[in-house]
C-alpha cells in the first residue's frame, strides 16, 4: 500500500503513469478506505489464521489477497476526465488482457446496491466491474487526490473469498460464489500468465515491447519520501482499525 501511494505521489510530481502487478508474501485481508472494520472483524481470529491485515487507501470492501493477482495504476488525472471515464478506460485494458488469456469477461451493467458493512468485496458485482458468467471476477476501486489517481484491483485465480466470513463478528452477507480464472482456464490459470497478458496489453498501448516497460521498484521509480511517510501510516493499527 505504501509503495502504491508513493507511486501516486510520483505521478503527481512527474506526470508519468505506472501500471504495477504484484502478489503478496502472506495471505492478507485488506479493508476498504472507508469500510467499518473495528466492530465487524475479529483481529485475534484473523491473526490466529496466519492472515495479515491492512487498510487500503482506495475504497471498497474486505478482500483476501492470496489466490489472486493484484494490480495498481498510479497516474496523473487527465483534465476533464471523470472517475468513471478513467475506470472504463482501465477496464478496457483489463478486458483485453483477459481476452488474450481466453477469458470472456465483460462489464457488469446493472448496479446492485450493497452497504460497506457486513459484506466482502466479491459478494456482488457493482455496475462497471468485470464479471464472468454473471459472477464478479475483478474487484477495482479508485481514489483521486491533488491531481493524481490510484486504482487498485484484484483478479481472482481461485475463489477463496468465502473465508472472510469466518473473521466476521456480526451480521454478514452470505458469500456469493465469485468467478475465478481457474473456472475458465483450469490449470493454465497462474499469476505469471496474468502478469504477462497485462504487460502485453500495456506495451501494445505504449507501442513498445513489454521488456522496454519492465521496471524495478527502486529509489529511481518510487517517491522515497512519500514511501517512508506512507509506511509509517499503513503500519499504524490506528489507521487499519480506525473505524
Q: What is the DSSP letter of 163?
A: G
Centre a 10 Å sphere on the Cβ of residue 110 and count the other Cβ atoms it contains: 7
Distance between CA 47 and CA 49 in Å, rounded? 5
| Active-site position among 1, 121, 141, 201 | 121
Distance between CA 107 and CA 99 in Å, rounded? 13
62-71 per-residue burial string, b: 16 or more CB within 10 A, e: under 16: bbbbbbbbbb
3 a catalytic residue:
no
Q: Which residues touch 191 (CB under 8 Å, ≥6 apart)?
A: 23, 69, 157
According to DSSP, the residues that pair with 131 across neighbouring strands are 106, 136
CB distance 87 to 130 below 8 Å = no
Long-range pairs, 230-237, Cβ under 8 A, ≥24: 230/1, 230/2, 230/3, 230/5, 230/6, 231/2, 233/2, 233/5, 234/1, 234/2, 234/5, 234/54, 234/55
**Cell, residue 51:** 492472515
Catalytic center residues: 121
Amino acid at each position: 500500500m505504501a509503495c502504491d501511494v508513493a507511486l501516486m505521489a510520483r505521478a503527481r510530481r512527474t506526470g508519468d503513469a505506472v501500471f504495477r502487478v504484484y502478489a503478496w508474501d502472506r495471505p492478507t485481508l485488506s479493508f476498504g478506505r472507508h469500510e467499518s472494520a473495528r466492530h465487524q472483524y475479529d483481529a485475534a481470529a484473523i491473526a490466529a489464521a496466519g492472515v495479515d491485515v491492512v487498510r487500503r487507501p482506495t475504497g471498497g470492501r474486505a478482500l483476501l489477497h492470496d489466490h489472486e493477482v493484484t494490480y495498481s495504476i498510479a497516474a496523473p488525472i487527465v483534465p476533464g476526465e471523470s472517475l468513471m471515464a478513467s475506470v472504463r478506460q482501465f477496464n478496457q485494458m483489463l478486458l483485453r488482457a483477459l481476452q488474450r488469456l481466453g477469458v470472456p469477461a465483460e462489464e457488469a451493467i446493472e448496479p446492485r446496491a450493497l452497504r460497506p458493512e457486513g459484506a466482502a468485496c466479491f459478494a456482488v458485482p457493482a455496475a462497471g466491474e468485470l464479471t464472468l458468467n454473471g459472477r464478479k471476477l475483478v474487484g477495482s476501486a479508485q481514489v483521486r487526490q491533488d491531481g493524481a489517481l490510484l486504482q487498485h484491483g484484484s483478479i481472482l485465480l481461485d475463489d477463496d473469498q468465502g473465508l472472510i466470513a469466518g473473521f466476521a463478528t456480526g451480521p454478514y452477507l452470505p458469500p456469493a460464489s465469485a468467478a475465478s480464472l481457474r473456472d475458465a482456464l483450469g490449470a493454465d490459470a497462474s499469476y505469471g500468465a496474468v502478469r504477462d497478458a497485462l504487460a502485453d496489453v500495456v506495451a501494445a498501448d505504449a507501442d513498445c515491447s513489454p521488456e522496454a516497460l519492465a521496471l524495478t521498484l527502486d529509489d529511481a521509480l518510487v517517491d522515497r519520501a512519500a514511501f517512508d511517510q506512507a509506511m509509517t501510516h499503513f503500519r499504524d493499527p490506528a489507521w487499519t482499525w480506525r473505524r
